[in-house]
A = this chain, B = another copy of it.
Amino acid sequence: MADDREPRFRRRKTARPAEIIAAALEVFAERGFAAARLEDIARRAGVSKAALYLYFPDKDALFRAVVGEAIAPNFADLRAMARAYRGPFAALAPLLLERIAEAATTTRLPAVAKMIIGESRNFPQLARVWHDQIVSGAAGLVSDLIAEAQARGEIKPGRPRFHAFSLIGPMLMGLLWRETFEPIGAEPIDLKALARQHAATVLGGMLVETGR
């Protein structure tokens, strides 16, 4: 009789890791590494705390997995898109900035960026992974694009890396603003609009004036 009640748990060896990582991303993003409780992560993943240890040896490893799995692929897209692009830098740059603005709402990239910034001292080896796999890749990519555009005579002289900062910095600031101050009720930032206006501004300063 009435033995058809739901089982207390299911065995789902393959699905767990991704679910745990997703839950961990949320909790880490909300609380930072140290303040995040494994109990909360487990509950949100629909699993017991002990079950986490079937899939990850400890909290550090889980954190590393979150950074690696949840973000890197997303960034790979951007890289591919930029690399595939053929055309003037003046047309690519607005696309890039808009893409960043979009990623801010679509993905948890801003939260993760915040996490890395906040926890870098306590996890130097994590900061290293993030730097080597993501940031230096991104910075290098943009720097390269700029250097190439300079070689084609589209962009004024100047250190490509600094130009990359001029281009990306305001978007990063916008991401962090949204992540840091909007939760407390500060005036929200329209990132898409920021992307458009900043693209116009910075390109105005970077592009070589055409004879016209």
Q: In the bound complex, do residue A165 and residue B198 qualify as a contact, i.e. CB atoms below 8 Å apart?
A: yes
Q: Which of B34, B180, B201 contacts A116 (CB 8 A)?
A: B180
- Residues 28-40 of A, flagged 1 when their CB comes within 8 A of B and 0 if not, give 0011101100000
Give the distance to chain B from A93, nearest Cβ to Cβ, in Å. Answer: 12
Selected contact of A162 from candidates B121, B131, B165, B197, CB within 8 Å: B197
Partner of A174, one of B122, B165, B174: B165
CA of A197 to CA of B164 in the docked complex: distance in angstroms?
A: 11
Name which of A48-56, A68-76, A202-210 contacts chain B. Answer: A202-210
Chain B residues lying within 8 Å of A114, measured Cβ to Cβ, are: 117-118
Measured between beta carbons, the chain B residues less than 8 angstroms from A82 are: none
Q: Is the CB of B118 within 8 A of A183?
A: no
B118 and A184 contact, CB distance less than 8 A = no
Answer whether residue A105 sits at the interface, using C-beta atoms and an 8 A cutoff.
Answer: no
A201 and B202 form a contact (CB under 8 A): yes
Does A200 contact B205, Cβ atoms closer than 8 Å? yes
On whether the beta carbons of A201 and B197 are closer than 8 Å, the reply is: no
- Residues of the B chain whose Cβ atoms lie less than 8 Å from the Cβ of A163: 197, 201
Contact A121 B31 (CB under 8 A): yes
In whole angstroms, what is the CA distance A14 to B20 when docked?
A: 51
A159, closest chain B residue (CB): B197
Complex formed: what's the CA distance from A172 to B170 in Å?
8
Task: Indicate with 1 or 0, residue by residue over A115-136, a CB within 8 angstroms of chain B CB atoms.
Answer: 1111111101001100100011
A145 within 8 A of B: no
Ranked nearest first, the 7 interchain pairs of A and B with the lowest CB-CB distance are A118-B118, A169-B170, A204-B205, A205-B205, A169-B169, A169-B173, A34-B34
Give residues in A with beta carbon < 8 Å to B. 30-32, 34-35, 114-122, 124, 127-128, 131, 135-136, 156, 158-159, 161-163, 165-166, 168-174, 176, 179-181, 183-186, 189, 193-194, 197-198, 200-206
